[in-house]
Amino acid sequence: MNLTNDPKNLIGGFIAGAAVGIAIGMLLAPSDGKKTRQQIVDGSVKLKDNLVGTVNESIEKLKDQFNAKVDQIAKEGKQKADYTSEKIKV
């Protein structure tokens, strides 16, 4: 399996990048405690929303790939069954 196309790597990289970005932003931005806490909450909500979207997209892609493979295997199985049926008739 190609590691660059693995959904787990995509999701893991996304989570790590977002977490690092939020942490650096919070540490470098001078704010009072209440404002910083609100920014952390807002950043967390944004991260969650992005993560849910990414996971849902990955799930849909995997479903599409799975269904395409099932269709391909079914088609090949039918072709082989038809071929075998024709050979038996002769």
pLDDT in tens, 64-89: 999 999 999 999 999 999 999 888 87
Cα separation of 41 and 85, whole Å? 65
Helix (H, G, I), strand (E, B) or coil at 78: helix
What per-residue confidence (pLDDT) applies to 1? 45
pLDDT in tens, 25-66: 767 766 677 787 787 788 888 888 888 888 888 899 999 999
Which amino acid, one-letter code, is at 33?
G
Q: Model-level pTM?
A: 0.52
